Amino acid sequence: MVSKIRVKVGSTEIEFEGSEDYMREELPKLIELLGDISSVNVNDENDEVADVLPSVADPAGKTLQMTTNTIASKLGVGSGAELVLAACAHLCLVKGADKYSRSNILGEMKLASNFYKTTYNNNLSASLKTLVKGGKLLETAADVYALDAKEKTRIEAKLSGA
């Protein structure tokens, strides 16, 4: 039996049509290789995280397809720090990034147009510092952050309605 699959990771897209045996045996290796190639890298020159952020699946096996606005709404965002968490959740849970630069976070915050205020940009350093001190974000390098595992689990539960 012939099967078809299309995989897009960042700007790389592969379409395959072939036997199910090949898909079972060889395709997982190819997908893993794509993930390795497209994983988020830190640029040594300016500590910015690359914008190649693949989509990932939630624990139920479905791909999360939510905007930062939707995540902010489900989390009940009411402050800049809470919007930072919603932006990080989008980067992590929808785009698949393990870590994200300050500029990636700010870009995601701005995409949440229903919640974003220009004062959040002015207070971004304070919000990030508060979240790191509170254990909700980890600073993995200068101006590069990741969601704490407990916080990620809490957010996933809220987004899934649990």
Residues 99-156: pLDDT tens digits? 999 999 999 999 999 999 999 999 999 999 999 999 999 999 999 999 999 999 999 9
Give Cβ neighbours of residue 54 (< 8 Å, ≥ 6 apart): 9, 10, 34, 35, 38, 95, 96
For the chain, what percentages of helix, strand and coil (3-state, to nearest 5) are there?
A: 50, 20, 35
Distance, C-alpha 111 to centroid of its chain: 14
For residue 155, which of 64, 31, 22 has the smallest C-alpha distance?
64
Per-residue model confidence (pLDDT) at position 79: 95
- The size of the chain, in residues, is 162
Give Cβ neighbours of residue 78 (< 8 Å, ≥ 6 apart): none
State the pLDDT confidence band at 41, using cuts at 50, 70 and 90: very low
pTM of this prediction? Answer: 0.62
Distance, C-alpha 156 to centroid of its chain: 12
Pick 68-160's CATH classification: 2.40.50.140, 1.10.10.10, 1.10.3210.10, 1.10.1040.10: 1.10.10.10
Dist. CA 44–CA 51, nearest whole Å: 15
- Where do the structural domains in the chain lie, given as residue ranges? 2-38, 68-160
Average pLDDT, rounded, for the chain: 79
Per-residue model confidence (pLDDT) at position 10: 61
